[in-house]
Amino acid sequence: MSSAAEDTESQDLRAVDGRVPGRRGIATRQRLLQCTSDLLETTSYRDLKVVDIAREAGTSPATFYQYFPDAESALLALADRLVGEGGERLVRPLKAANWHGQNAYLACEAVADAFLEFWADHSALMAVIDLAALEGDQRFRDCRIQLLNMFTVAATEVLTRQREAGFAAAEVDPEATAVVLVSMLSHVAAHQAGIAQSGVPIGQLRDAMARVMYNSPLGKTDRFATTI
Amino acid sequence: MSSAAEDTESQDLRAVDGRVPGRRGIATRQRLLQCTSDLLETTSYRDLKVVDIAREAGTSPATFYQYFPDAESALLALADRLVGEGGERLVRPLKAANWHGQNAYLACEAVADAFLEFWADHSALMAVIDLAALEGDQRFRDCRIQLLNMFTVAATEVLTRQREAGFAAAEVDPEATAVVLVSMLSHVAAHQAGIAQSGVPIGQLRDAMARVMYNSPLGKTDRFATTI
DNA sequence: AATTGTTCTGACGGGTCGTCAGATAGTAGG
DNA sequence: CCTACTATCTGACGACCCGTCAGAACAATT
């Protein structure tokens, strides 16, 4: 399942004119992707020009257009590659944990860390995904949904179990709660640099995230547990 | 204090060449702003062309540039006008509430509603602010911070009091918690349309937001309150 | 080395941007 | 009503970026 990205890379690849590229073509495409990724570290998404990517890759703009219809498509290709890894990384601490008693808080900390670290590791690309999705680009919107969907589904399941076990009120809507928590996690993770810059240490942020999760119906594994 | 925006409008206004515009000039500027706002309802932020705004206003692009250095600046002028109203609307339910006992949950509902409604009322412009801020534009970033700052400060105060009253653990960091909650509120509010479209009713969303707030240290006004 | 298929690129038409000199509209004084 | 002056508007322009295409350069195969 996690090789889906790989398969897409080697199977479906077509140059713009419909031909299947050979060894050299694939290498060029790869080089263009790498240069796009590199440039993204120093250039803002909107200032990313095809001509710059091409120059960085030591080739001409026309070559770029042979492999991608536009600059965004190259970014999308990079983003797609991230979805597999990301979905996995985010959902792991949720699934690995056993949501009983005190373990729940540890799980919440692990989840907060996973979000913060994943966004920190891929801040530039994640910013592009968030941005393009917000801007209404359906391709990036799907990408973002797919990335978060695995987590949201898993969180919904945990919440449903908590509710069935009587740890949360019957009116709690598991899916809505999961969406709200995912919003919190992804938004804080995406803005961690800015938040830190305005004086809140990342450590405190992580604790606050974990606490909010733990105190929500997600973390409650005891009918009379108190807020921490 | 709330007339600050008005003052700015009538005092500081300068045409691009440094002159102070007269009656007619101010009217033209106003018309351009209104057309920008109108076009924003039907056009995506990035597709907003100066030439379109000018045509809509029945004037020429060159006229536009006499009043704004670029299209973003017109949007910023609209955004600034929203900050006064927005800050006020968001913080009111937080300050109006007395955070004692059961009232706290009602306050949380009111806060959730305020965020959802404010973003719904100004979805297009708020999307632009979020977008431009995310994109790194410092002017919009400041604008967004100013909009949310009043609320964040007020929430930090409430949290500090709750902690001093012994309703939250000593390790709870009021500011970090406030930031996390504001992230949740603003992100959910900004994406409410998309979330609703994917099948979660706004009502459920509101309840989930209120519950997450209420269960966080913000809502706890009783040492042994249980999760709802 | 000739042939065939693949990959690359210089040069171009089309479009948007922001500027500026000059046209136009408004106004005060005679 | 005319003149002179100021405020406002605009047509036309150069600069820039985008994506395309015909043909050059390259690689592989015989």
Q: Would you tell me how many other CB atoms lie within 10 Å of the CB of residue B136?
A: 15
User: Residue A57: which CATH number?
Assistant: 1.10.10.60
Q: Would you tell me how many other CB atoms lie within 10 Å of the CB of residue A164?
A: 11
Expressed as residue numbers, the domain containing A26 is 4-69
Q: State, as a whole number of angstroms, the distance between the CA of B84 and the C1' of C6.
A: 61
Of A135, A141, A181, Cβ closest to residue B131: A135
Cα separation values, B135 from A144, B72, B190, Å: 17, 12, 16
Interface touch B127/A141, C-beta < 8 Å: no
Cα separation values, B100 from A144, A210, B97, B167, B178, Å: 40, 25, 9, 11, 18
A222 within a domain of the structure (yes/no) = no
Which residues of chain B neighbour A137 with C-beta distances below 8 Å? none
At A40, the amino acid letter reads L
Confidence tier at B217 by pLDDT (50, 70, 90): confident
Distance CA A15, CA A69 (A): 9
Query: Does residue B25 approach strand D to less than 7 Å at its CB?
Result: yes
Nearest residue in A to B223, CA atom = A226
Q: Which of these, A134, A136, A132, lies nearest to A73 by C-alpha position?
A: A132
Of A167, A190, A208, Cβ closest to residue B176: A208
Q: Classify residue A188 as exposed, middle or buried by CB count within 10 Å of its CB (0-12, 13-18, 19+).
A: buried
- For the segment A19-28, the average pLDDT, to the nearest whole number, is 81
CB B39 within 8 A of CB B56: yes
Nearest residue in B to A207, CA atom = B172
* DSSP-derived 3-state class of residue A142: helix
Interface touch B183/A191, C-beta < 8 Å: yes
Of A134, A195, A201, Cβ closest to residue B131: A134
Q: State, as a whole number of angstroms, the distance between the CA of A33 and the C1' of C14.
A: 28
Q: Do B188 and B106 reside in the same domain of the chain?
A: yes
Confidence tier at B6 by pLDDT (50, 70, 90): very low
Contacts of residue A212, defined as CB under 8 A and 6 or more positions apart, other chains included, come to: A181, A184, B177, B180, B181, B184, B212, B216
> Mean pLDDT of all residues in chain A?
86
Interface touch B215/A211, C-beta < 8 Å: no
Q: Do A45 and A142 reside in the same domain of the chain?
A: no
Q: Do B39 and B145 reside in the same domain of the chain?
A: no
Distance CA A220, CA A27 (A): 51
A228 within a domain of the structure (yes/no) = no
Q: State, as a whole number of angstroms, the distance between the CA of A199 and the C1' of D6.
A: 52
Residue A47 confidence (pLDDT): 87
Measure in Å the smallest separation between the Cα of B58 and chain A Cα atoms: 28
Structure tokens at B218: 């913000």
Q: Do A40 and A77 reside in the same domain of the chain?
A: no
Q: Do A38 and A108 reside in the same domain of the chain?
A: no
Number of domains in chain B: 2
Q: What is the pLDDT of residues B29-81, one digit of tens each?
A: 999 999 999 999 988 888 899 999 999 999 999 999 999 999 999 999 999 99
Spell out where chain A has E strands.
none
Q: Fill in the DSSP letter of residue A45.
A: G
> Mean pLDDT of all residues in chain B?
86
Q: Do A118 and A169 reside in the same domain of the chain?
A: yes
Q: Do B102 and B14 reside in the same domain of the chain?
A: no
Q: State, as a whole number of angstroms, the distance between the CA of A201 and the C1' of D24.
A: 58
Residue A220 confidence (pLDDT): 63
Query: Does residue A97 approach strand D to less than 7 Å at its CB?
Result: no
CB A216 within 8 A of CB A167: no
Query: Is the model more confident about A131 or about B101?
Result: A131
A174 within a domain of the structure (yes/no) = yes
Measure in Å the smallest separation between the Cα of B209 and chain A Cα atoms: 6
Of B176, B187, B227, Cβ closest to residue A225: B227
User: Residue B147: which CATH number?
Assistant: 1.10.357.10
Distance CA A92, CA A154 (A): 10
A225 within a domain of the structure (yes/no) = no
Confidence tier at B112 by pLDDT (50, 70, 90): very high
Model confidence at A227: pLDDT above 60: no
Distance CA A113, CA A93 (A): 9
CB B76 within 8 A of CB B143: yes
| CA dihedral sign of residues B92, B98, B100, B102 | negative
Q: Considering A69, A84, A118, which residue would you say is the last residue of a domain? A: A69
Q: Considering B41, B69, B97, which residue would you say is the last residue of a domain? A: B69
Residue with smallest Cα–C1' gap to D6 = B22
Q: Do B191 and B106 reside in the same domain of the chain?
A: yes
CB A183 within 8 A of CB A152: no
- 3-state SS, chain B, equals CCCHHHHHHHHCCCCCCCCCCCHHHHHHHHHHHHHHHHHHHHCCHHHCCHHHHHHHCCCCHHHHHHHCCCHHHHHHHHHHHHHHHHHHHHHHHHHHCCCCCCHHHHHHHHHHHHHHHHHHHCHHHHHHHHHHHHCCCHHHHHHHHHHHHHHHHHHHHHHHHHHHCCCCCCCCCHHHHHHHHHHHHHHHHHCHHHHHHCCCCHHHHHHHHHHHHHHCCCCCCCCCCCCC
Model confidence at B9: pLDDT above 70: no
Provide the angle, in degrees to the nearest 10, between the axes of the packed helices B174-190 and A174-190. Answer: 110
Q: What is the pLDDT of residues A160-200, one digit of tens each?
A: 998 888 878 888 999 999 999 999 999 999 999 999 999 99
At A34, the amino acid letter reads Q
Q: Classify residue B98 as exposed, middle or buried by CB count within 10 Å of its CB (0-12, 13-18, 19+).
A: exposed
Distance CA A199, CA B184 (A): 19
Residue B21 confidence (pLDDT): 73
A95 within a domain of the structure (yes/no) = yes
Residue A165 confidence (pLDDT): 84
Confidence tier at A6 by pLDDT (50, 70, 90): very low
| Torsion on CA atoms B199, A100, A164, A155, rounded to nearest 10 | 10
B18: left (phi over 0), alpha (psi -120 to 50) or beta: left
Q: Considering B69, B90, B124, which residue would you say is the last residue of a domain? A: B69
A226 within a domain of the structure (yes/no) = no
Nearest residue in A to B228, CA atom = A169
A89 within a domain of the structure (yes/no) = yes
Q: What is the pLDDT of residues B80-95, one digit of tens each?
A: 999 989 999 999 999 9
Interface touch B211/A217, C-beta < 8 Å: yes
Query: Is the model more confident about B171 or about B8?
Result: B171
Q: State, as a whole number of angstroms, the distance between the CA of A49 and the C1' of C13.
A: 20
Nearest residue in A to B126, CA atom = A134
Distance CA B40, CA B144 (A): 18
Q: What percent of chain B has pLDDT over 90?
A: 64
Contacts of residue A115, defined as CB under 8 A and 6 or more positions apart, other chains included, come to: A90, A185, A186, A188, A189, A209
Q: Do B187 and B76 reside in the same domain of the chain?
A: yes
Q: Do A128 and A194 reside in the same domain of the chain?
A: yes
- Mutation for testing the A interface, residue in B212, B213, B218 having most A CBs under 10 Å: B212
Q: Do B101 and B170 reside in the same domain of the chain?
A: yes
Q: Do B34 and B104 reside in the same domain of the chain?
A: no
Q: Which nucleotides of C are covered by protein (CB under 7 A)?
A: 6-11, 16-21, 26-27
Number of inter-chain CB pairs under 8 A, A vs B: 145
Q: What is the pLDDT of residues A74-118, one digit of tens each?
A: 999 999 999 989 999 999 999 988 887 778 899 999 999 999 999
Residue B14 confidence (pLDDT): 58
Measure in Å the smallest separation between the Cα of B24 and chain A Cα atoms: 35
Of A135, A176, A224, Cβ closest to residue B205: A176
Q: Fill in the DSSP letter of residue A191.
A: T
Q: What angle do CA B100, B104, B109 make, to 5 degrees?
A: 160
B53 within a domain of the structure (yes/no) = yes
